[in-house]
Amino acid sequence: MMRIDCLQYANWSEKIFRQMREGGVDAVHVTIAYHESFRETVLNFEQWNRWFEQYPDLIMKGQWASDIDRARETGRTAIFFGFQNPSPIEDDIGLVEILHTLGARFMQLTYNNQSLLATGCYEAEDPGITRMGKQVIKEMNRVGLVVDMSHSADRSTIEAADLSERPIAITHANPHSWSPGLRNKKDDVIRAVTSQGGMLGFSLYPHHLKGKTDCTLESFCQMVADTADKFGVKNLGIGSDLCQDQPDSVVEWMRVGRWSKEIDYGEGSASAPGFPPMPDWFQDNRHFGNIEAGLRAVGFSDENVSDLMGGNWYRFFAENFTPRGVT
């Protein structure tokens, strides 16, 4: 069974790459920019190039769905790149194609705040997709860079789903109806995305879980089943948001970047500012088997477990990473 995780941001190390192999993870979409400029993002591509050179038996660069087949044949994990913010393109639409050429496959139009393109989920007002945002969505469609609205506000997300001529994604979030919170998505938002071929990746990040760290595997898997009943099983997958081995300074960087001199706690709080502990049934890449078993336990068929664990993302990657007109 294919296993694809459509969002991780770990403190990468040989240990974690080995855990990916132990967990049978065939592909991971990794975040390489939160607030980085273009040049800083290129430094992050460079760092990954070093890791591909250092650990050629464990990981390989992922560019196309077919790279996942190659990774499986050679016992490696294919690493696909994405940005949680459009900061890497700065104010230059030409960088969309440049970054796709370098390997970027997902880009969020916003990260919590208003961006040049759209509105983030923590803003008070959401005026929707901007002038530049409309142009950039068109260009992303052209080159095969997927619009990701995980950290965007509702109206912006629905408009992006409608404006985009190719399916978009919410790579890591859960339904608001199961666990309310600004980062989880209301039904009309999920419907706007999935009804047009887009994908929702279920998050294992405690702030997105009902009961946070104490959320049970059963509750999580039942939520997946309910979501599949509502929106169809074919547009759902996993986007764990695993931030393994990161120091708390990193979650502060994710939240504050350079945009504020004041601390912003995001989904945390003054009393719990750091990364929350993961649930005991999903500590790291070795635990995807638990989710697979949990999905079977709530009644999913073999075929649908396979869809949810990776098959749906595989199909989505195959259809949405190539430039338009190229098959």
Q: CB-based burial of residue 165 (10 Å sphere; 0-12 exposed, 13-18 middle, 19+ buried)?
A: exposed
**Three-state secondary-structure class, residue 266:** coil
CB of 50 to its own copies, least distance (A): 7
Separation CA 258–CA 254 (nearest Å): 10
Q: How far is the CB of 262 from its own copies (least distance, A)?
A: 31
How big is the chain by its Cα radius of gyration, in Å? 18
Q: How far is the CB of 98 from its own copies (least distance, A)?
A: 6
Is 102 a binding residue for its own copies by CB under 8 A? The answer is yes
- Quick one: which of 103, 175, 206, 310 contacts its own copies (CB under 8 A)? 103
* Residues 44-73 as x/- pattern, contact with its own copies by CB under 8 A: -xxx-xx-----------------------
Over the window 71 to 100, marking each residue x when it contacts its own copies by CB under 8 A and - when it does not, the resulting string is ---------------------x-xx-xx--
Provide the token pair at 42: 């290129």
Instruction: Considering the complex, state which of residue 102 and residue 190 has its C-beta at the smaller distance from its own copies.
Output: 102
Taking CB under 8 A as the criterion, the residue among 18, 42, 134, 135 binding its own copies is 42
The minimum distance between CB 159 and its own copies, in angstroms, equals: 26
Minimum CB distance to its own copies smaller for 40 or for 188: 40
Under rule CB under 8 A, residue 101 binds its own copies:
yes
Per-residue DSSP letter, 120 = B
Q: For 216-264, list the strands marked E by DSSP.
A: 236-238
In this structure, is the dihedral angle defined by the CA atoms of residues 241, 246, 247 and 252, taken in order, positive or negative? Answer: negative
Contact residues for 8 (Cβ-Cβ < 8 A; gap 6+): 28, 29, 30, 31, 240, 241, 242, 243, 244
Closer residue to its own copies (CB): 52 or 253? 52
d(CA 251, CA 273): 8
Residue 284 touches its own copies, criterion: CB under 8 A: no
Sites of contact with its own copies (CB under 8 A): 38-39, 42-43, 45-47, 49-50, 92, 94-95, 97-98, 101-103
